[in-house]
């Protein structure tokens, strides 16, 4: 059965003073494969447990988005590793966490979240249907373009920078985490 949710729900759960994308329907994919390992917790719990996402978790907490990310079901998080945050050209991680940059932090994090549990099987179907690329709308309202070459998935952001998915299909109670090697940028750095 094809179920849908409205992104308007996301605006309530991600209420943080920054507008989300207009309401849109999002198709929910099937449940994870029975053989797929699944983290028993939420997206944030899975990031905490990974050990490679300390900066992402710190940023989520600083932005006040942990509750929303634990509540939304389902969602996909494109999660940059700690080293990705260290090499980001967006702004230094320390500056990003400052109170005066909270709006930019929220925008940046929401750019890494897509409604629906999008695993690589879903990406493959969307890439095929899209003639070689899949365009995903983030809860921030921007777009990400995903392509596959061989077994490698790349994501192009709004500034035309590319990240690779380095760990695929990390299922958790409310969706999927796709680990990436770069911070995705919703717009040109300040």
Listed in sequence order, the residues at least 6 apart from 150 whose beta carbon sits closer than 8 Å to its beta carbon are none
pLDDT score of 119: 95
Residue that has been written with the tokens 């919703």 in this structure: 186
Q: How many domains does the chain have?
A: 1
Give the Cα separation of 84 and 28 in Å (integer). 29
CATH number of the domain enclosing 79: 2.30.180.10
Degrees to nearest 5, angle at CA 25 with 70 and 143: 75
Cβ–Cβ under 8 Å, residues 7 and 20? yes
Q: Is position 188 within any domain? A: no
Q: Is position 49 within any domain? A: yes
Give the Cα separation of 139 and 128 in Å (integer). 23
CA pseudo-torsion sign 79, 84, 85, 90: negative
Each residue's pLDDT tens digit in the chain (190 positions)? Answer: 333 333 333 443 444 433 334 333 344 444 545 555 555 688 898 899 888 999 999 999 999 999 988 887 899 999 999 999 888 767 788 999 999 999 999 999 999 999 999 999 999 999 999 999 999 999 999 999 999 998 899 999 999 999 999 999 998 888 999 999 999 999 855 5
Q: Is position 186 within any domain? A: no
Q: Is position 189 within any domain? A: no
Instruction: Give me the domain span that covers residue 164.
Output: 4-29+37-180
pLDDT score of 73: 82
5 burial type by CB count under 10 A (0-12 exposed, 13-18 middle, 19+ buried): middle
Q: Is position 46 within any domain? A: yes
Bridge partners, residue 172, by sequence: 39, 175
Q: Phi and psi at residue 121, in whole multiples of 5°?
A: -65, -40
pLDDT score of 188: 59
Q: Give the SS3 label for residue 121.
A: helix
Q: Is position 103 within any domain? A: yes
Q: For residue 129, say if its preceding peptide bond is cis, omega within 30 degrees of 0.
A: no
pLDDT score of 50: 87
Q: Is position 70 within any domain? A: yes
Q: Is position 185 within any domain? A: no
């Amino acid at each position: 059965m094809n179920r849908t949710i409205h992104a308007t729900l996301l605006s309530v759960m991600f209420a943080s003073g920054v507008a989300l994308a207009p309401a849109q329907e999002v198709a929910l994919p099937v449940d994870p494969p029975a053989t797929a390992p699944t983290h028993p917790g939420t997206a944030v719990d899975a990031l905490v447990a990974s050990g490679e996402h300390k900066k992402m978790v710190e940023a989520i907490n600083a932005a006040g988005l942990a509750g929303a990310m634990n509540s939304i079901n389902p969602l996909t998080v494109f999660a940059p590793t700690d080293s990705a945050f260290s090499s980001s050209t967006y702004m230094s991680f320390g500056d990003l966490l400052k109170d005066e940059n909270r709006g930019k932090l929220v925008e940046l994090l929401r750019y890494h979240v897509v409604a629906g549990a999008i695993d690589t099987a879903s990406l493959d179907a969307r890439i095929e249907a899209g003639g070689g690329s899949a365009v995903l709308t983030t809860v921030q309202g921007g777009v990400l373009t995903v392509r596959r070459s061989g077994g490698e998935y790349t994501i192009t952001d709004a500034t035309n920078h590319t990240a690779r998915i380095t760990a695929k299909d990390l299922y958790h109670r409310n969706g999927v985490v796709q680990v990436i090697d770069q911070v995705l940028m919703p717009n040109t750095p300040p």
